[in-house]
Amino acid sequence: MVAIVGVGYSGFNSTTPDLSWKEIMYEAALRAYTDAGINPRRDVDSFVTCAEDIYEGFAIFDEFVPDQLGAVVKPTCTVCADFLYGVATAYMQIKSGLADIAVVESHSKASDIQTFGNVVKFAMDPIWLRNIGNAHPYYLAALEMFQYMAQRCLSEEDVARVVVKNKNNALLNPSAPYAANVTIDDVMASPKLFDPMKKMEIAPLADGCVVFVLASDEVARELTDSPVWVKGVGWWSETYGYDTASFSAMYTYKAAKMAYRMAGIENPAKEVDFAEVDDRFAFKELQHLETLQLAGKFEVARLMAEGYFDKDGSLPVNVSGGNLGVGNLLECTGGQKALEVVLQLRGEAGRRQLSDVEIGVAQAWRYLPTHSGAVAVFGV
Amino acid sequence: MIEKIVNPKELRHWDGKIELYWVYTSGKAGDEFFKKLKEEDKFLAAKCKKCGKVYFPPRIYCEKDFSETEFVEVSGEGCVRAFTVARLDAYEKPLDNPEIYALIDIDGTDGCLIHLLGEVEPENVEVGMKVKPVLKPKDEREGRITDILYFKPL
Amino acid sequence: MEVEKISGLKFHKKQDVAIVGAGMTTFKRRLNETGRELSYLAIKQALEEAGITIDDVEMVVMGSAPDTFDGLHMKSEYLLDGSGGSDRPYMRVFVGGGTGVFAPIAGYWHVASGLADVCLVITEEKMSSSYPHPQSAFKYIWDPILDRPLSPNLIWIFALEMRRYMHVHNIKHEDIALVSVKNKANALDHPCAQVAEKITVEDVLNSEPMALPVRRLDVSPPSDGAAALIMVAPHIARQLTDNPVWVTGVGWALDTTWWTNRDLYFPRYVAEAAKMAYRMAHITDPRKEIDVAEPYDPFDYKELHHMEGLGLAKKGEAPILTREGVTQRDGDLPTCPSGGLLGVGNPIAATMGVKACEIYWQLAYRAGKRQVAKEVTTGVCQAWGDLMQVGTVMVMSNKR
Amino acid sequence: MAVGKKDIECPPYAEGTPLSDEDIKEGKVTYVEDHPDIRYSWTAGQAISKFLNGLKEGKILGVKCNKCGRVMVPPRMFCELCYKPIDGWVELKDTGTVETFSISYIDPDAKPLPEPVIVAVISIDGASPHMGIMHILDEVKPEDVYIGMKVKAVWKGEEEREGAITDIKYWKPVEG
């Protein structure tokens, strides 16, 4: 078993004009090490950072990682993926005996990016897709949303309810810059930028950093009396091309299957107490809930309307406010999800604390234009 | 941190860019496809020799079983599976003319293409609508996906 | 300044890791194939050598260096379908130029942790996409505020490091040029080689100056290419082959971003990485126990520099070993028998083909014309990257 | 699992299709060009903001750590070896020593430069040994530069300075 023995974060804010990317990493890392009660220069065997170069504005971001994590001349690497992939990497390193204590870091300095649309476009296939038309690549999500709504017979209100739930949940989270007391009418009145997708259904960008300290069974018990265990972790890629993609988040289905098998969970809808899922586009939350098998294919929207996924519902989802409330944290998205799950499991979530929670799921997608994602199951 | 700057005017930003010119070769499958399109107005797909899946856009391998593929000719026509009207450009500024993007299932293949729709009003687009590609005049073609201007209703 | 030791490693792994197949594409200045087509071609070879199909592969590790070469943000996702990542757990690891050996290290922990029994490691680079020159992409590896305003070229850091190395040990350029001569000649036997040729020390010393002391023939060329490796658990290896090659040690280390704050004459990041790998492989005297080595040689002095970091030569001794012919293919410590990056080409991450793959082929006695003269049991490969920061080391052996 | 390893004499390799620059220029193969507009505005942060503001005033600022005793430049808010906050700021001299140098004949795009540029790592006086920055040397012939040479910063005029590393035009040998 692998445990989380320390967490730290910095943010989350819409901009961070006072701190460089190095300094937000330092702030978050220092808090995580203090939380775990370790000295990174002495105790940590491996450092993993999750970053994509073009989000950062460097050709090789890995260069700029070690100092602020306390990782100078120590095993340190970059995983070009979401934070949860980093958790998987640390998990494997600990399981293979390469590390007893491993640190995972991920951050977003989205406010440094001046042309976000072009950055996403830069990830699109240059030969077959990138230069068609002039629109913002959000249209790719809109196409997927269109098909998903058609297949699941969803109304626009069904999707709008996700925004209402998450932005209101975020009001109880002091680190959620996009919290708002919106109603379904507000969302429905928000302009349709990419039919059928509305402005409010797109998560705006945010800055922040999350650092986790993971440890092997033995070491974790030495460090803390109440570790949070990584019960299972899974990551999966479906395909790259839109011609072969399922348009129904199969990547999450497969990643969840892998994570649940590892965690020994047979009936996720019953066994999972709460979840933090990727909602960088509102419809994605519905899609991800379905593929995480937390609700039946055609039930998700009905349950959402009935309040099943509310913070006082049977299976609270995105109590933190999700990306719609906290913001799009790029590769740190999974970090914010995992952080919320750990805080809830430890009982440290403040006014949004859920009662009697033992198993939580964090899930993240690799954002446009990909069909990859990861899932982690945490428990106490 | 023990001390921090308190005067926001002392905080600095540094502007810069990642600016390069990239030249992407279309590759083996792409080269075949675009040359055929440019010279002969014809469309190619690729069929897996093992499982029979027909890829569009074509590729030289089957991504599921890693077998080789063979090129097959298709009409290039297809049906709209999903569409959206995009109103913002890449800088999040309103587009003067909203663009209709569609996911088009190409006839005779298991694949699809994302491209623009033209010669049709947004309110008249329907799922399942048959569309066909409109190509640039032959002498203006460059062997790129933008040689297809848009798809229009059949 | 003291460097703290890596502590607490017990190496209590779930299972051993064997390599059973490898493959690569030709390395050329520019190839027509897209990155994913190159990946596909390399994987086909590796699967064939291992005698398995893509369906047997459980997980995939992708190694690829800067996105700015291929001209694709999140390029692992773009390369996914040709890299066997379709419908599988697929992850890209990245430590700059060190990725060539780091990708198999990541493959190692996928298998050693017990999460995968068959792991495919694929590395790809298509540097030719970047215009006007692949080196232009390196403009963006520098600190945007402190370095980029000085309009630096990538070669600068090498030149600065090379000068310091030459100065501290009083090494002549002639001795360093011998590495280029040796590797480019070794590459004549490599079917994938881009710049294999017979040259002399004078050719190197008289070649066009780039950033002195670095001259044209001191440098490896930018290339397009891909390489693949199949790593499996022992029970799978047994089914596939009688003589697999085992991964006995891995190590990696990343030094400070502030490279101008260090004395550049010695690669302590390689030394730390090697220390970790040797400890795991129970190697106490690398010079005696290592039979064949593939240190990273993007520049000729780098081979020497890295041999010293790997403990294959004492500080300042590597040029002497080279002059005495110890590092020739028929020498006592054959070094870069593949022809290395200087001879075969330098498609950054895909150099796994001449590093990890080459050591595998050497230890499996499958290197053909490139097979070293002496009997081999243990080999080491190493790569280096970032702003002279990363050392990645993997030790392999044909004895378990 | 399939049949197992085939007995191949030579390691396998796949032949690619090489192209030359001419093949691209003449349009022998199809290709796409792109020149995306990707811009950033990096936050300099606490340490570098202060450093840049110092340069504007003609000062080189460093930081010190009382635990390891190092005086560091470029400045940072934490000592990366002790992993603790720095203990204060130090104004350094604008003189230094050449740690290593190179004579560059090429620009960032690998194109030949009209005149070679001398680049060096210069350890700054007042900071700990080997604590240097990368910068340009001038007012010296390439053949006269040596490791250990004492150099001095040549600043831009006060009104021209904008708080950038290029506020130092270059470094020149200290006379005598």
Q: Report pLDDT digits (tens) over C142-189.
A: 999 999 999 888 889 899 999 999 999 999 999 999 999 999 999 999
CA distance D146 to chain C (A): 10
Instruction: Compute φ and ψ for C307, nearest 5 degrees.
Output: -60, -40
Name the domain count of chain C: 1
- Could you tell me whether strands C292-294 and C378-385 are parallel, antiparallel, or unpaired per DSSP bridges? parallel
Cβ-contact D75, D54 below 8 angstroms:
no
Quick: pLDDT tens for C276-317.
999 999 999 999 999 999 999 999 999 999 999 999 999 999
Instruction: Compute φ and ψ for C250, nearest 5 degrees.
Output: -135, 150
Cα–Cα distance, C66 to C38 (Å, whole number): 17
CA distance D74 to chain A (A): 13
CA distance A359 to chain C (A): 22
Domain housing D58: 45-173
Quick: pLDDT tens for C246-272.
999 999 999 999 999 988 899 999 999
Residue of A nearest to D83 (CA): A70
Q: Is the pLDDT of residue D117 over 50?
A: yes
Inside any domain, residue D37: no
Inside any domain, residue C249: yes
B6/D contact by beta carbon, under 8 A: no
Instruction: Compute φ and ψ for C364, nearest 5 degrees.
Output: -90, 5
Q: At what angle do helices C35-50 and B27-40 cross, to 10 degrees?
A: 130
Top CATH class of B27-153 equals mainly beta
Top CATH class of A2-113+205-223 equals alpha beta
* C162: CB partners within 8 A, 6+ apart: C176, C213, C214, C218, C299, C301
Q: How confident is the model at residue A186 (pLDDT cuts 50, 70, 90)?
A: very high
Please indicate whether, in this complex, the C-beta atoms of A66 and C257 are within 8 angstroms of each other: yes
* B39: CB partners within 8 A, 6+ apart: none
Instruction: Give the pLDDT of residue C8.
Output: 42
Instruction: Give the pLDDT of residue C3.
Output: 36
Cα–Cα distance, B1 to A26 (Å, whole number): 9
Q: How confident is the model at residue D176 (pLDDT cuts 50, 70, 90)?
A: low
CATH number of the domain that C249 lies in? 3.40.47.10
Cα–Cα distance, B99 to B85 (Å, whole number): 6
Instruction: Give the pLDDT of residue C7.
Output: 43
Task: Supply the mean pLDDT for chain D.
Answer: 89
pLDDT tens digit at each of 154 positions of chain B: 888 999 999 999 999 999 888 999 999 999 999 999 999 999 999 999 999 999 999 999 999 999 999 999 999 999 999 999 999 999 999 999 999 999 999 999 999 999 999 999 999 999 999 999 999 999 999 999 999 999 999 8
Instruction: Give the pLDDT of residue C138.
Output: 85
* C194: CB partners within 8 A, 6+ apart: C26, C27, C28, C29, C221, C223, C344, C345
Q: Is the pLDDT of residue D2 over 90?
A: no
Chain B partners within 8 Å of A118 (Cβ): 90-91
Instruction: Give the pLDDT of residue C133.
Output: 81
Quick: pLDDT tens for D121-144.
999 999 999 899 999 999 999 999
Please indicate whether, in this complex, the C-beta atoms of A17 and B8 are within 8 angstroms of each other: yes
A130/D contact by beta carbon, under 8 A: yes
Residues A13-25: what's their mean pLDDT?
A: 93
The residue to which tokens 């290290």 are assigned:
C105
CA distance A122 to chain D (A): 7
Q: How confident is the model at residue C2 (pLDDT cuts 50, 70, 90)?
A: very low
Residue of C nearest to B59 (CA): C37
pTM of the model: 0.95
Residue of C nearest to A65 (CA): C257
Instruction: Give the pLDDT of residue C362.
Output: 93
Quick: pLDDT tens for C69-84.
889 999 999 999 999 9
Inside any domain, residue C325: yes
Please indicate whether, in this complex, the C-beta atoms of C389 and A101 are within 8 angstroms of each other: no
Q: How confident is the model at residue A366 (pLDDT cuts 50, 70, 90)?
A: very high
Q: Is the pLDDT of residue A341 over 50?
A: yes
Instruction: Give the pLDDT of residue D5.
Output: 52
Inside any domain, residue D13: no
Quick: pLDDT tens for A60-72.
999 999 999 999 9
Above pLDDT 90, what percent of chain A? 93
The torsion defined by the Cα of A130, A133, A137 and A138, in degrees rounded to 10, comes to -150
Instruction: Give the pLDDT of residue C109.
Output: 94
Task: Supply the mean pLDDT for chain A.
Answer: 94
Inside any domain, residue D57: yes
Chain B partners within 8 Å of C71 (Cβ): 20, 22, 24
Domain housing C242: 18-131+221-397
Instruction: Compute φ and ψ for D158, nearest 5 degrees.
Output: -55, -40
Chain A partners within 8 Å of C9 (Cβ): 45, 97-100
Inside any domain, residue C365: yes
| Chains contacting chain C through 3 or more C-beta pairs under 8 A | A, B, D
Inside any domain, residue C207: no
Tokens of A337: 């999800």
- Could you tell me whether strands D132-137 and D150-155 are parallel, antiparallel, or unpaired per DSSP bridges? unpaired
Residue of B nearest to D78 (CA): B1
**Number of residue pairs across A and B with CB atoms under 8 Å?**
129
Q: How far is CA A194 from the centre of its chain?
A: 24
Residues C77-94: what's their mean pLDDT?
A: 93
Quick: pLDDT tens for C23-42.
999 999 998 999 999 999 99
CA distance D45 to chain B (A): 7
Residues A35-49: what's their mean pLDDT?
A: 93
Q: Is the pLDDT of residue C5 over 70?
A: no
Distances A285 to A204, A299, C233 between C-alpha atoms, Å: 15, 13, 38
Inside any domain, residue D33: no
Chain A partners within 8 Å of B116 (Cβ): 132-133
Chain C partners within 8 Å of D24 (Cβ): 30
Instruction: Give the pLDDT of residue D11.
Output: 66
Instruction: Give the pLDDT of residue C322.
Output: 93
Of A26, A143, A196, the CB nearest to B114: A143
Interface test with D, best of A15, A26, A122 (most D CBs within 10 A): A26
Name the domain count of chain D: 1
The CB density around residue B118, as the number of other CB atoms within 10 Å, is 14
Q: Is the pLDDT of residue D7 over 70?
A: no
Chain A partners within 8 Å of B111 (Cβ): 241, 243-244
Nearest to B90 by CA among A369, D38, A196, A284: D38
Instruction: Give the pLDDT of residue C11.
Output: 56
Quick: pLDDT tens for D69-103.
999 999 999 999 999 999 999 999 999 999 999 99
Residues within 8 A of C (CB atoms), A 319-378 only: 366, 369-370, 372
Instruction: Give the pLDDT of residue C243.
Output: 86
Quick: pLDDT tens for C39-55.
999 999 999 989 999 99
D33/B contact by beta carbon, under 8 A: yes
Q: Is the pLDDT of residue D10 over 70?
A: no
